[in-house]
Structure 1
């Protein structure tokens, strides 16, 4: 084992790998110079000599027994610059837990992480990890409506220093696109549910290329080949390997059951099962090590499948105790790894604490997010344009159903119904924004975890970019429905109607944002938002007048119901300056639906209608203020939730 440990800790010889295609090697040359300078700061290729961990453990408490459960047990390892480490194990073995722990992320819900994580033999903090590394998650977080080049440029804008000039930024992006074989797809969109874009392998390569914009020295990848066939998996890992070797990157990837050719691209292997280490070392030594343990690999067998089969305790074989086998393997490894040293003293390695992090100007981040969101909003039909079509359809429906209402008492109730239906269903249909926002939220979480975007910048950009589209929706609806229905023909009344619809939509979208950050699951967010809008309809003062409304619902929900203020504002706008004629039973004898001081002449003032609904005519400014306060409240609560959920 001493010989094996010596081999494991030897510096990597940077030679060309025979398995890589000539095209891959040639493309990688294009980005050679980009990894030598980051934001005007010279970088030597051996900035990170080694990345190591010692006694790394992750524990959680059982909800049932309240006892501490170890999901990762005292694992050690070291990866040198230029090496690629594959973390392998059966499903639920702790691969992602280990990867998250190494990246200083929350390893698991409610988990406690202990142990040492070192770079160049020095303890590395969360801030330093974010400075020197990038993390590519298993689930893609690319924005489907952006092109390959736009995706890369926006990633550069969020991560590169403001001192990096435009030409240098563009060159770095173009070189990375070429190095990952995406030059022909540079102006192709990533792909949306409606419009096809990149293939699965191309998306994976773009994910990795995006993470390399700032030339990180450590790259974490969570199952980068998931969902790809063997050819695409090899293609992704081959591109990554050549970049890693040329620029001395530390690459750590969890991977599930790779093909033989893909498996052979990795330099080192870390096998885990049930959170315990079964092997760590050069990939080529694993088969010989397990042969010494009595597990001989049959001929013409995929070595990755063979190794996973040995340590998989979920498989039940007749006459075999798989748990006992795992215990034997982990005990044998614990005894054999005693000589491993992760090298805490490396005087020749750069002192990472002296390297200053260069970041973009904080004011640049919201601007980049605004530009990216704007492109997505006008280009992706799912974000707003489907809603524009939906609301236009609703306007035509309402305009033709409530067509040309008149100033007679028989049309008073239809006018009221139209106001309620229009405002309530406009806000209810905002649930269509849930999938688009969840996509943005997923992208934000990835970028935040990599230290690129904060909650305030994300929230501000999301709010501002929606305003012009919501105003457009309100304007289209108003232009169609207002005049078809026959609401009060007055310019001021029309613009107040438009204002109330706009605030209604802004409040509804703000509610979607709040619910979605609390429940970031599509079905749950959709259900909760729909329920909340249904509740607001019930207590807004239309179905049950405010004076009749149950005391509980009045004081618990009515006063925080934005639909209530919108409904009251629209009612006052329509009725306070109108007079309606009563039904004339016979000459000089009238039957009026609402009592008032004009009943004797067969007229009903609009104020009499408002009085029946307990709506005052002097509260417009107050209703506007309350609605704005509710909108701000929703947004602030969503921001607080994002701030509290740090991961």
Structure 2
């Protein structure tokens, strides 16, 4: 009985325990839910407080402040809100923000762009758009025919003389007119991905350059190209439109991040800041609180003048360059990133800018089909969501990449065969009589159907005998096709210029102020000097070894003072010093020549003016000249036994600095004029030979023919020679009486100078220093002028067109039958 009672009580207790446990668990869940709700409410309150604090700031400060979520306690799980200055984001903060927005770039980029677009649409901000029209566009140039077109030394000489005689109308020219584009018209609309197709040599690159305003000045252009009804002289097309070349051209010493950051910094943010200010004002008036992550992203990508810009991290993430961000780009002599990655860097250089129009030429070269598809997919998202205007030229796109495009421009033999929606292109060719086989890629079909050799296999009218349809015939058929008629109707209606968004066309020539451009170029030049430290260390070691050799050749124990013959030894020692100091500036010749292709690309894209490129090079070489001259004079001056006077020591040091600076300026200007690694050394060595021969040492002034004496006075070597010998031989230790009656000078020092045809007055030291400084300035100014007005010398490339081949460089279009 007792045991039953016990069991009963026990069971009863167990039941109560289960019920109590269930009740306690439910209470615990409610308490936990209440805690989570309370914490969420607290976070929202904190969020509101931080945002309210930002809203109370002045406009300038408000546009530079954002709120960023981060996990506190090193990943403990608690999320905190941190107020940040978007203009001073560190690497960790940038990475955190990008990863929060783009966890998987392939999936999240479209979401991010839609969130940005939704924010602007809510308050009625209109995104600037650009429509491009080209009407009756023709491009042609002159070229040599037959054997004369081949790039040989004989042809160069003969063609040069024939060109001079032809200019004087003495001898008829052998050039013939080459039509590159012939009477083409069309419209490139915003928010539509346009694919430019055509066989090699059909004029795709020329069309893209014509639409972006970057055609070579030697070509003749007729017709008109307009942006939103405005012609090129009404705005700056090079900044409104970003042209991406098919050739990779980068500074191999810089990393991927450094290359993109420099480009982004120079291109600026355009009108993003002004649009963001208007967006922020409207949201504040409407009481709308934006998405904090999107707000921080938009603010960080709209602030100008940053050394580390968030848009660079964003573009690298999209292009898959984040894995090689800190690896140097590399070149022929430096191992760096792969060829495909270099191609993506070329694309990224323009994507980090604010352009609303993109002309991309063969961006898939060196990329696999999967990478090309991903990049084109990202471009499509930009075009459709952000209303970008984009034309991409691809040679043989994969079917899945081809399907990403909305419009097609097919060009062949310098004429547009089809332009319109991708969905109608096969209907057009069926209308003409050609059908694409089921297993044939449409892009491949389009490039072959206009070819005389491949056209027959696609003929689809068995009831009719096949006949070759030429390109002019295709153009005629297109004009009668529905798509062609619709295009003509649209072109017949002028674009309404009054509907153009004020921010659509760029009127400023450069993206940032001259001060910021100069600062950016200075920082890059300092970085390049650091990366090329081996070169400067090697030059210093070379100079040190040569100074040791020189001082042992003219050691002071063998150098006596008091006779005319002794003066000749000192004269030779001074010339040896002058020779080495001047030759140490020759390295600027190749350094400058190798950097010119990158400079021309950046100059033509209006990243910076020529003076912003040249000034940092000149200024930052001055300390190097001081260092090299100090090493030379420290090792040789007293060991050789030059005039034992402190002021003479520093005056010789000053002369060497001026000589070295003059030599560097001379060879930089030669490099900018020659623009070729083959021609520049030839001109440089010839110039050096002339300068030395007329410098007053090899041939004395009195021995130079009267008709050539002007060469003596314009030789910078002469002034350098005068400065150092006057400094030495007018010292008091050379003031002994002159024993030679044939020389009409009172002292030995002046007699030595007189025999060599040098000046014998102290004032000529300072005149010579002034002349050297003047030559330095003239050469550097010539360097800037050459960089500003001379175009690049392109490597010769050939393009086939039927039975004619033309070889294109920057100066002419040469043809060979």
TM-score by length of 2: 0.65
Is this contact kept in 1: 2:130–2:356, CA < 8 A? no
Post-superposition CA distance 1:494-536 (Å, at most 9, x none): 3222222222221122122222222212211222112111111
**Cα gap change, 1:516 to 1:269, in 2 (>3 Å):** farther
Contact 2:265 2:306 in 1 (8 A): no
Alignment map for 1:74-223 (pairs within 5 Å): 74-105=183-214, 107-123=215-231, 125=233, 127-160=235-268, 164=303, 170-223=309-362
- 1:6 is aligned to none
More displaced, 605-614 or 406-415?
A: 406-415
* 2:685 counterpart of 1:530: yes
2-structure distance, mates of 1:640, 1:35 = 45
Q: Check conservation: 2:343, 2:366, Cα contact below 8 A.
A: no
CA contact (8 A) 2:409 2:416 kept: yes
Equivalent in the alignment of 1:633: 778
In 1, Cα distance between equivalents of 2:327 and 2:259: 11
- Determine helix, strand or coil for the equivalent of 1:547: helix
2:643 and 2:733 in contact (8 A); partners too: no
C-alpha change, 1:484 and 1:270, in structure 2 (3 Å) is: farther
- Going from structure 1 to structure 2, the CA distance change for 1:388 and 1:255 (only over 3 Å counts) comes to farther
Is the alpha carbon distance of 1:349 and 1:495 closer, same or farther for their aligned partners in structure 2, counting shifts above 3 Å? Answer: same
Instruction: Give 1:282 deviation, angstroms.
Output: 3.5
Aligned partner of 2:751 in structure 1 is 608
Q: CA deviation at 1:540?
A: 0.5
- Conserved in 2, the CA contact under 8 Å of 1:84 and 1:268? yes
Aligned counterpart in structure 2 of residue 494 of structure 1, from 636, 646, 649: 649
Distance in 2 (alpha carbons) for counterparts of 1:324 and 1:551: 73
User: Structure 1 residue 231: deviation in Å?
Assistant: 5.3
Does the C-alpha gap of structure 1 residues 244 and 543 become closer, same or farther in structure 2, counting only changes over 3 Å? same
Name 1:624's counterpart in structure 2: 769
Distance 1:386 1:273 in 2: 53
> Is the CA contact (8 Å cut-off) linking 1:57 and 1:115 kept in structure 2?
yes
Specify which structure has the higher proportion of helix: 2
What's the counterpart of residue 415 of structure 2?
A: 276
User: Are positions 1:471 and 2:626 aligned together?
Assistant: yes
Q: Does 1:344 align with 2:491?
A: no
Instruction: Encode CA deviations 1:359-410: one digit per residue, 9 max, x unaligned.
Output: 4222222122111111112222477455444434433443444444633366
Query: How much has 1:307 moved relative to structure 2?
Result: 3.4
CA RMSD, Structure 1 to Structure 2 (Å)? 4.1
Task: Tell me the equivalent position of 2:44.
Answer: none
8 A Cα contact 1:31 1:176, kept in partner: no
- Counterpart of 1:55? 136
Residue 87 of structure 1 aligns to a residue whose secondary structure is strand
Q: 1:360 to 1:398 in 2, by over 3 A?
A: same
1: CA distance, partners of 2:452 / 2:656: 60
Structure 1 residues 532 and 347, CA gap change in structure 2 (3 angstroms): closer
Alpha-carbon contact 2:188-2:194 (below 8 Å) kept: yes
Match of 1:361 among 503, 508, 513: 513
Shift of 1:563: 1.3
| Pairing 1:558–2:712 present | yes
Alignment match, 1:587? none
Of 557, 573, 580 in structure 1, the residue corresponding to residue 727 of structure 2 is 573
Measured in 2, the distance between the counterparts of 1:48 and 1:354 equals 6
Q: Specify whether residues 477 and 258 from structure 1 end up closer, same or farther in structure 2 by C-alpha distance, changes over 3 A only.
A: farther
Is 1:379 aligned to residue 531 of structure 2? yes
User: Structure 1 stretch 562-571 or stretch 437-446: which is displaced more?
Assistant: 437-446
CA distance in 1, matches of 2:553, 2:452: 66
Matches within 5 A, 1:283-362: 283=422, 285-297=424-436, 300-311=439-450, 325-336=470-481, 337-340=484-487, 341-342=490-491, 344-345=494-495, 349-352=499-502, 359-362=511-514
Distance 1:526 1:324 in 2: 52
**Aligned twin of 1:406:** 558
Alpha carbons of structure 1 residues 188 and 267: separation in structure 2 relative to 1, 3 Å? same
TM-score (structure 1 length as normaliser): 0.81
**Structure ID, larger Rg:** 2
Decide whether the 8 Å contact of 2:243 with 2:360 is kept in 1: yes
Q: Tell me how far apart the structure 1 counterparts of residues 724 and 529 of structure 2 sit (CA, whole Å).
A: 29
Structure 1 gaps, min length 5: 1-20, 583-591
- Render the CA deviation track for 1:561-600: whole Å, top value 9, x for unaligned: 1111112212222333275899xxxxxxxxx9x954899x
Checking the alignment, whether the CA contact within 8 Å between 1:30 and 1:178 is kept in structure 2 is no
Unaligned stretches of 5+ residues in structure 2:
1-102, 145-172, 274-302, 457-465, 793-817
Q: Would the aligned equivalents of 2:192 and 2:389 in 1 still touch at CA under 8 Å?
A: yes
CA distance in 1, matches of 2:467, 2:730: 80
What is residue 53 of structure 2 aligned with on the other side? none
Contact 1:143 1:190 survives alignment (8 Å): yes
Distance 1:486 1:472, change over 3 A: same
Q: Does the Cα contact within 8 Å between 1:188 and 1:198 map onto a contact in 2? A: yes
Q: Which residue of 2 aligns with 1:585?
A: none
